[in-house]
Amino acid sequence: MTIPTPGIRLDWRFRLQSACGVERRPWQNRVFQVEELLMAGKLRLALLMVAVALASAACSYPVAALDIGEAAPDWSGAVGVDDKQHGLSDYADAKLVVLVFTCNHCPVAKAYEERLIALQDDYKAKGVQVVAVNVNNLPADRLDKMKERAAAKGFNFPYLYDATQKMGRDYGATCTPHAFVLGKARKIVYMGAIDDSMNADKVKKDYLRDALDALLDGKDPPEAKTRQFGCSIKWD
């Protein structure tokens, strides 16, 4: 690949000129431009791949190591967008509790908001309670912004704020969103992703819904553990 020497520039007619006035032929100018564009494109692709790899790695290693069948960590005192204190015991009547770690700022978390609303609508009568919790302390993720987001989107489930981040650490949450299903005995019966695509139109596997259907039918989820993906939780 040709590397430009100092003083070489492209003018508005796409002519490559050197400081001494030597002019390249038009086809050479265009080849040089194509090479520059390809190099820039490859660099952007490489940076994107690195970013995806880092995000994936961040979501691969939980802070704690919960597993299927273990007792779900208890929690209390988490303030909701309703300004009330919430605890796990508040949902004792629910057959299943779907605890989803999420936040305001993450584009992946935002992409799943409508799906969580639909999930609560579809499963509420079956005894399933969705609970969303945010443990990020970024300005965009604090309680005042959570209230605005919940009102704007019409959340039909509790949206809680844990500024201590204890809930996230206890459950080993790594990403937003990261879902956990708690069975009637409040043991972990499913953990991982909500489904297999951020784009709702491209979903092929509804991991969370499939798990709920199986559990409500007295069966084990077809996949009790899947790999979560999204934005890494911002630990203090």
Domain ranges of the chain: 9-58, 78-232
**Which pLDDT score is estimated for 3?**
43
CATH number of the domain at 78-232, please?
A: 3.40.30.10
Q: Give yes or no for a contact between 198 and 82, defined as CB atoms under 8 angstroms apart.
A: no
Environment class of residue 95 by beta-carbon count within 10 Å: exposed (0-12), middle (13-18) or buried (19+)? middle
**Which pLDDT score is estimated for 27?**
45
**Which pLDDT score is estimated for 44?**
58
81 CB neighbour count, 10 Å cutoff: 21
Rounded to 5°, angle at Cα 211 from 86 and 53 = 85
Please identify every stretch of the chain with a pLDDT value under 50, giving residue numbers as ranges: 1-24, 27-28, 31-32, 34-35, 37-38, 46, 48-58, 60-63
Q: How many residues does the chain have?
A: 236
**Which pLDDT score is estimated for 59?**
60
Rounded to 5°, angle at Cα 121 from 130 and 156 = 60
Place of tokens 């309703």: 82
Say if strands 96-101 and 128-134 run parallel, antiparallel, or are unpaired: parallel
**Which pLDDT score is estimated for 64?**
62
**Which pLDDT score is estimated for 65?**
74
Residues in Cβ contact with 56 at an 8 Å cutoff, skipping those fewer than 6 apart: 229
Of the CA atoms within 13 Å of residue 180, those in its CB half-sphere come to 26
Q: DSSP 3-state helix, strand, coil percentages of the chain (rounded to 5)?
A: 40, 20, 45
Question: Rg of the Cα trace of the chain?
Answer: 25
